[in-house]
Amino acid sequence: MDLTREETDFLRSLSDSELVKVLQEFPSDEQRSILNTLSKPVFLSERSKDVARKREERSEAARIEIPDVVDPQRRERALADPELFLKTYFPKKYKRRMGAHHHRMIDALVEISTNGGKQSIAAPRGCGKSEIVKGMIPYLIFSGRIRFPVPMAATGVLALRLYLDFRRKMQRNDLLHADFPEVCHPIRALDGAPQRAEKQHVAGVLTEIVWKATDYLCLPIVAGSPFGGVKMSYASLDGAIRGLNIDSDRPDLVILDDPETRESAKHVNQIENRRELLDRDIAGLAEEGEDIAIVVLTTLQNNYCLSAELTDRKQRPAYAGMRFGMVVSWPDDMEMWNEYMALWQRDNANGDRNRYTALAFYEQNRVAMDKGSELLTDEFKPRFDQDGKSILHSNLQRQFDVIADIKLPAYLSEYQNDPEPEEIAEGNALTIGRVMQCTSKLERGVSPEDPICVTRGIDIGKYKSHWWKAAWHESATGYTLDYGIIETYGLDTRSSERAIDHAIVDSLIQFADADDETPLLTLVDSGNFTNAIYEACNQLGGAFRPAKGYADAQFKQIKPTDNQVPFLESYARKQLDHSMREMWLYHVNTDHWKDWLQERFLTDTFDDHGFRVPGSMAIFEPPHGDIKFHSQLGRHMVSEGWELVPVKNKVNKKTWIVRDKRNNHWLDAGALCSAAAGCVGIRLIQPAVEIQPRQTQAPRKPRRITNRYGQSFVARR
């Protein structure tokens, strides 16, 4: 090893122990070279030799050698023809003849990734759009057209499937490994352990591979490889999109596979929100001054959804929309097909799953029934009965089987991309991504300066109770300080009602005892476990009050008396609990407060000068910069909402819709937290005088109690 004069002088100035520490950083052969250069008899200890030996072994274990390409000619031929690439390296997925819509999808992906721009294509449901996307991503990378693709979908689960499919292809496809070893071999060498990536090297040069399962990946940097440093991530239209860049690299191609769910395509406000995500957030992923390439592959669900807009050249000419229907031209004799479908439905109703009567009718009249028809593709999957007899003779027959099953209007939308006009249902535009983006710039649990009050809501469950805690400034400007789950221990399906009540009381008292700051008012849902909540609130004192929720149509405001006090969309009424003790029960219009909280998230969090917008709600900054931290909260927030639903022969009717009854608990807790704020005087419109939060009851002195498990703690009285 050659040393400069300065390095030699520095090493000679070190003591023997200091020199030993320095030498441990070098392999053994370089250690000997340095000692010879210094002409200094330094003898390494056995421990130092062992450390050096193990370091050398680890380095050798991380060393890989890239094999040669097995078939360069096959590789070159496949890269020159994307359809050949798909059928060569993924033969099981693309064994059938491709139709015109498949060729147009492939051409669009190649053209847009090469020259930029936008393209939208609507193809029939189940025609293999996602498979085209999955196969074309590796092709576009290996052909050198893209260096940072981002597959997207309507939901995070669907987008993740596209991302994980690419990982599996790189790890497990033997033919890709044979012809693209500079990419696939370093990936296989990890043996499913992404943590090995940091030390992996080729001839001492790190590959810098990143192989994360649910975040992003970076292909290995290998001498002579054009694919080194290519990155890939994924995103969804119901999550956070802004700021998607890795090591200052930004996406160069977004492939949007089915941008809408069945629910989002029905509601104009959700459609508007996804339109904004596409036009602002996704378009903003590109480098400054450049346009990102976007390809949208979709299926129309109605005549007003986002997919219908993007594939309409009059509405969105930039996307050069194309629509493909499975039936290019309908048969000449539709009356015979109507008779066939009537026979099909009768067979089905009689329990004949093979529909033999309809089948016999088609077999006898097939020539006349097929005349004049043309399909996008003649490919179909044959079907046979238990005796091996064919019961499906053509793709045209299959299409009319589908029409007989789901009816023509649904078929026109799902398979023809030509939906019939229909009335529009409306709802609010809140999405999971919107909730996740409403952050307060404050860390978890940190309250803003000089809040008027802090309130909390708790939605009670048998095994888990969800809670939400917020601080409030004037004009109902909210700061979600924290939210979480209270576990109820010691229960199972055999637990008695008494045991359940005791366990819930214990869990609430322990939760309150662990809280450093008791909110001014906590409303606790008493609907399902009434006696337990009454008992817990009695023990915890006036800062905790039981609450009963009502739907908007059921809630009626009351007049003030000595035994009842009206608040904003809620009231408190004095009554006796199960032990004949006086207590205040809060009656809450939960539909109103859920909608009210959703509107706070729909209000911009900050203005152009960086100040909080009055009437907005914000959540704490996600810990450790985890952009997906609040996704579950967002899911709960959009689980219910008002919608204008079209009613036959009537005007649209405003209806509260529950979309996901299993994941709405934090919405319930947030509504109670908001109702509590209304009870203590928080208002959207700032009153003429300063708000003085309404005191519910002076806290009692704490007392120590022991639960049925022998655990002792302080109860707030």
* Whole-number Cα distances in Å, 541 to 1, 469, 522, 556, 674: 77, 18, 10, 27, 20
**pLDDT tens across 253-278, in order?**
999 999 988 878 877 777 888 888 88
CA proximity to 119, closest of 303, 321, 368, 265: 321
Q: Is the pLDDT of residue 689 over 50?
A: no
Tokens read off for 6: 């300065």
**Helix or strand holding residue 106 (H, E):** helix 100-115
Task: Say how many C-beta atoms besides its own lie within 10 A of residue 2's C-beta.
Answer: 7
Task: Give the distance, in angstroms, between the CA of residue 461 and the centroid of all CA atoms in the same chain.
Answer: 25
Q: Share the mean pLDDT of the chain.
A: 85
Residue range 430-455, pLDDT digits in tens = 788 789 889 999 999 999 998 999 99
pLDDT over 60 (residue 687): no
How confident is the model at residue 274, as a pLDDT? Answer: 86
Cβ–Cβ < 8 Å for 273, 429: yes
For residues 406-412, average pLDDT: 87
Q: pLDDT digit string (tens) for 473-490?
A: 988 999 999 999 999 988
d(CA 376, CA 395) in angstroms, rounded, equals 10
What is the residue-wise DSSP string for 606-626?
B-TTSPBPTT-EEEPPPGGG-
The confidence band for 626, taking pLDDT boundaries of 50, 70 and 90, is confident
Q: Which of 268-282, 362-376, 426-440, 679-693 has the lowest mean pLDDT?
A: 679-693
Can you read off the two tokens belonging to residue 477? 């400007």
- Residues 651-666 have a mean pLDDT of 80
Please determine, for residue 533, whether its predicted confidence score (pLDDT) is greater than 60: yes
56 pLDDT band (50/70/90 cuts)? low
CA distance 322 to 276: 22
Quick one: pLDDT at residue 440? Answer: 92
Distance in Å from the first CA to the final CA of the chain = 77
Joined together, the tokens standing for residue 374 give 């043309």
Diameter over CA atoms, the chain: 103
* Alpha carbons 186 and 200: distance in angstroms, whole number: 8
Whose structure tokens read 């064919």?
A: 390
Q: What is the mean pLDDT of residues 140-151?
A: 94
Mean pLDDT of 197-224: 87
CA atoms within 13 A on the CB side of 345: 13
Class of domain 432-538+587-715: alpha beta
| Coil, helix or strand at residue 206 | strand
The residues, any chain, with a CB within 8 Å of residue 318's CB and separated by 6 or more, are 117, 118
pLDDT in tens, 118-132: 999 999 988 888 899
- Nearest CA to 557 out of 572, 570, 547 is that of 570
Does 371 score more than 70 pLDDT? yes
Measured distance CA(150)–CA(163) in Å, rounded: 8
Three-state secondary-structure class, residue 572? strand
Q: Which of 43-52, 139-148, 153-162, 672-681 has the lowest mean pLDDT?
A: 43-52
Q: Model confidence at 527, in pLDDT bands (50, 70, 90)?
A: confident
Identify whether the C-beta of residue 405 lies closer than 8 Å to the C-beta of residue 368: no
Q: How confident is the model at residue 698 (pLDDT cuts 50, 70, 90)?
A: very low
Q: What type of residue is 338?
A: N
What is the pLDDT, as a whole number, of residue 59? 54
Res 289 pLDDT > 70: no
pTM check: above 0.85: no
Rounded to an integer, the average pLDDT of 196-225 is 87
Quick one: 418 exposed, middle or buried, by C-beta within 10 A (0-12, 13-18, 19+)? middle
Residue 388: phi and psi, rounded to 5, are 85, 5
Residue 243 has pLDDT above 70, yes or no: no
Residue 24 has pLDDT above 90, yes or no: no
Going from N- to C-terminal start, the domains of the chain cover 5-61, 72-323, 327-414, 432-538+587-715
Lowest mean pLDDT among 62-76, 415-429, 479-493, 677-691: 415-429
Q: Give residue 6's pLDDT.
A: 76
Quote the pLDDT of residue 231. 93
User: Predicted confidence band at 117 (pLDDT cuts at 50, 70, 90)?
Assistant: very high
Q: Say if residue 288's pLDDT is above 90.
A: no
Residue 552 confidence (pLDDT): 81
Q: For residue 381, is pLDDT > 70?
A: yes
* 407 has a pLDDT exceeding 90: no
Q: Who contacts 376 (Cβ-Cβ below 8 Å, separation ≥6)?
A: 99, 100, 101, 124, 127, 324, 325, 326, 327, 328
In this prediction, residue 146 carries a pLDDT of: 93
The answer to whether 432 touches 638, Cβ cutoff 8 Å, is yes
Separation between Cα atoms, residue 515 and residue 533, nearest integer Å? 18
Task: Specify the CATH number of the domain 72-323.
Answer: 3.40.50
Of 169, 264, 177, residue with least CA distance to 217: 169
d(CA 126, CA 415): 8
